[in-house]
Each structure stands twice: as structure tokens, then as C-alpha cells.
Amino acid sequence: MRVFKFGGASVKDANGVKNLVQVLKKVGHKNTLIVVSAMGKTTNAMEQVIANYFNDKPALQSSIQDVRKFHNEILLDLFENENHVVFSKVNAFFNELSRFFEINKSPDYNYVYDQTIGYGELVSTTIISEYLNELQLNNTWLDVREFIKTDNYYRSANVNWEITQEQISAKCNTNTLNITQGFLGSDANNFTTTLGREGSDYTAAIFAYCLNAESVTIWKDVPGVMNADPRYFENAQQLYHISYHEAIELAFYGASVMHPKTLQPLQSKEIPLYVKSFLNPEEVGTKVCRGVDIDPEVPCFIVKKNQVLISLSSLDFSYIVEENISEIFSLLHLYKMKVHVIQNSAISFSVCVDDMYGNLEKLLLHLRAKFRVTYNQNVSLYTIRHYNDNAIKQLEKEKTVLLKQLTQSTVQIVSK
């Protein structure tokens, strides 16, 4: 059994879906499970739908219609017969989405987010499954929520591995072509949960682990793992072999090519991960496996944008010691801040965080009760693995450095 993952960029339109078919024809599709993301920028569009539900009710239905229209255009490009069953299946999903907003009583943004954001994946996989069937590439559509079971930590749920293993082992037929959704799961009450933004890679790894798959392939619009994101850095180089350890480090620091949790289940069973181009599927790509480190002379650059740098100092110039630091981290956990860098001295403490849940003001209010607080929003966090002096110099050029931290193999710089 092999596991393939196709992201939103690979199925952003009808031609993308047709290209997916060509990839399967070139590399084979027997005994394969395919994990698919929402099409194109659908997740962003769905986030706007959710925002309208909370903040602009009159715009809610029109924003749903925009998402529906986008998918309907893809359907019309793929299916000549408008009476094909796929039209009614997709329509049913959008009716279900609208119905949820009509009957929902919960004011919890995170709960509402998870109940609705995944319709992009449900629709995309339905379209692709039916299109493959139309071309005689017979497959089974799986609702991933019946397989991956989690807690109810909405928007970043934790997998219940024991139940997930049982469900996948019992329900997944490994002798056929299967198609399912990335990013989603469900809790003990069968409410939909999500595994974190860009979590489809992790979904592929979960299935691979539970199925003892021979490999996982992530199909991207780049030739493989690069030493830098070409969108932000010039002259990016491809890395052809990476160890699990190095890949986990890169993912932890924010390399966009892999979800941070993806490598752990694969490494534990030594399942190789391939990152390949869906535009050139027969090229070698990048292989992540045991014991093959990248060349340490190649610096790897990673950037996280829209971060917040919070700097704390004691009100009475007393030391910030273990008790204070413990309290600070309890508050960061309470307000669901994702911590990326910390730095402290005798009377100061700085932390760079990702405010993905929008709790910054609440956190700052709480911190000001005991500390002198300053903060910078919309800063960028740059990380260089295997840095050298020239790499640091180039990165710092024309930037205002707010925080800098070096270890033996990694430098992190927060800048404006």
C-alpha cells in the first residue's frame, strides 16, 4: 500500500484534476490511498465564510455561493452530463453547510470553524473520486472522519492513535484505490475536528502508519524539498536526500513543504517519505529516510511571517526565575499561543509567538498584571539551519533585527 497526498495547488482547477489522473497513470494507482486537500484557495474562502457568519451575516450566503460557483465551474469542465450524480452530491454538501449555519447555537469560533472548514475537502474528494470513476479508474471514497479519531481540541486536535488504528485496520480495503480527505478527523461525539492548518500531510502519515505503508509521496508544485522557499528566497537549491532527524528539525522550524507532525509516525516505522513534483512526476524528487543527512554546507532558510514578539521585564527589577517563567508558559498555553523562540536574561524575557487563535489582547492584559510588557506585531521569524557568516549577513541585510539567537547548528532572527 502506498499513500499519496495532493495539495490544493495540484487540484486548483479542472486541468489540475486532469493532471492528477496523468500522474496516477504514470506512477501507478493500484493498492494506493490518496489524500486530497481542498481545491486551490478554497480553505481561505471558507475562512471568509466563517468570518461572515460571526461578523457580517448579510454577506454569509453570497460568500457560500462564491465557493459553490467556483466548484460548479470545475464540475462543468470535467463532466459533460449535468445530470451526473456528482452534481447532486456536491450540492448536498453545500446545502448541509448552509443548514449548519441556520441551526448552530454555539458561539465558539473554534467549534464552528471545525464543523465548516472541511467542506472544501469533502467536495474536492467527491469531485475527484467521481471523475476517476468516470474514466474507469474505480476507487472508494472514504469519509476520513470515520477513520481518524481525535480529542475535541478544535483547530489543532490530537489523534487518538488506538481508536484510529482500529478504525483504519477494520474499514480500509488496501487492495483497491482509495480517496479521502486531508486535515480532518472527528471526536468522540462525531463532531468534526481539524489537525491544524496544512494538516493534510499529517493525514497521509497517519494512514501510512496504521496501514504499514511502503511509502508516502507528497505531490507539490516544486521539484522536491528546497533549502529555501522560492517565494521568499532567491537561488533556492533542491535537497535530494534528508534524514528523518533533519526533516523533523526543518518542519519544526516552519519549513512549508512538510507539516511538523508528519515525520514522527513515519520515522517510527521507517516509512520513507518522497516529495515530488506533480508537474514532472517521474523526476527523482526528494527522499526522506533513515540516516541520510543533508550536506551540512548547505544552509537551509525558513521564514514565518505575521508573528508577535512579546518582551517582558519585572516591575521591580527582580529576577525573572523559574517561578515566573512557569507562570508565563501557563498563560501562553491558556491563550493557545504557538511558541517559536524564547530568550531571557536576569530581568527580561522575550518570546516570539503565533497568535493563530486571536487571543493576543487577552494574553497581554493578563501579563500586564505582573510584568512590564512591550510587543511588536507582524514581525518575521527567520531560521537558518547549518548557517554560516555569509548566510546570516545576507539575511540581516536591510532588516531591523529585534532578536537574534544562535546555537551550534541553527540561528533564529526576529526582524521587522
Span 35-74, pLDDT tens digits: 999 999 999 999 999 999 999 999 999 999 999 999 999 9
% of the chain beyond a pLDDT of 90: 87
Is residue 203 located within the same domain as residue 329?
no
Same domain for 198 and 342, yes or no, is no
CATH number, domain at 96?
A: 3.40.1160.10
Which are the contacts of 133, defined by CB distance < 8 A and separation ≥ 6? Answer: 139
Q: What is the mean pLDDT of residues 187-214?
A: 95
The pLDDT value given to residue 126: 98
Residues 135, 30 share a domain: yes
Same domain, 314 and 197: no
Q: What is the DSSP string of 263-311?
A: HHHHHHTT--EEEEESSSTTS--EEEETT-PPPTTS-EEEEEEEEEEEE
pLDDT in tens, 347-365: 999 999 999 899 999 999 9
In whole angstroms, how far apart are CA 375 and each of 300, 313, 378, 410?
Answer: 28, 12, 10, 24
Residue 250: inside a domain: no
Is 245:292 a contact under the CB 8 Å cutoff? Answer: no
pLDDT at residue 302, rounded to an integer:
94
* In the predicted structure, residue 296 carries a pLDDT above the cut 70: no
Range 19-27 contact pairs with CB under 8 angstroms and sequence separation of 24 or more? 19/278, 19/279, 20/128, 20/278, 21/131, 21/132, 21/135, 21/137, 22/281, 23/219, 23/278, 23/281, 24/132, 24/137, 26/281, 26/282, 27/281, 27/282
Residue 177 has pLDDT above 90, yes or no: yes
Same domain, yes or no: 203 and 315: no
Last residue of a domain, one of 213, 245, 267: 213
Q: What is the chain's length? A: 416
Task: Give per-residue pLDDT as tens, 230-254.
Answer: 888 888 899 999 999 888 888 888 8
Residue 381 binned pLDDT confidence (cut-offs 50, 70, 90): very high
State the Cα–Cα distance between residues 176 and 30, nearest whole angstrom.
Answer: 6
Asked if residue 385 belongs to a domain, the reply is yes
Cα–Cα distance, 303 to 363 (Å, whole number): 24
Residue 288 in any domain: the answer is: no
Average pLDDT over residues 257-275: 89
Question: Among 213, 246, 272, where does a domain finish?
Answer: 213
C-beta neighbour count of 330 within 10 angstroms: 10
With CA atoms as reference, report the closest residue to 37 among 279, 250, 227, 259.
259
Answer yes or no: do 149 and 47 share one domain.
yes
Whether 268 is in a domain gets the answer: no
For residue 45, give its domain range: 2-213
* Banded pLDDT at 299 (limits 50, 70, 90): very high
Residue 294: predicted pLDDT:
63
User: Angle 88-94-100 (CA atoms, 0-180°, nearest 5)?
Assistant: 135
Q: Is residue 187 part of a domain?
A: yes
pLDDT bin (cut points 50, 70, 90) of residue 295 is low
CATH assignment of the domain containing 323: 3.30.2130.10
Residue 154 main-chain phi, psi, to 5 deg: -60, 140
* 53 three-class SS: helix
Q: How high does pLDDT run on average in the chain?
A: 95
Give me the residue label for grid cell 499513500: 3
Q: Which of 182, 213, 244 is the last residue of a domain?
A: 213
Question: For residue 293, what pLDDT band results from cuts at 50, 70 and 90?
Answer: low
188 shares a domain with 77? yes
Cell representation of residue 148: 481518524
Q: How many domains does the chain have?
A: 2
Quick check: is 7 in a domain? yes
Span 122-160, pLDDT tens digits: 999 999 999 999 999 999 999 999 999 999 999 999 999
User: How many C-beta atoms lie closer than 10 Å to residue 23's C-beta?
Assistant: 23
Q: Give tens-digit pLDDT for 9-44.
A: 999 999 999 999 999 999 999 999 999 999 999 999
Q: Is residue 273 one of the residues assigned to a domain?
A: no
Asked if residue 378 belongs to a domain, the reply is: yes
Known binder of ligand: residue 155? no
Q: Verify that 200 and 68 share a domain, yes or no.
A: yes
Confidence check: pLDDT of 97 > 60: yes
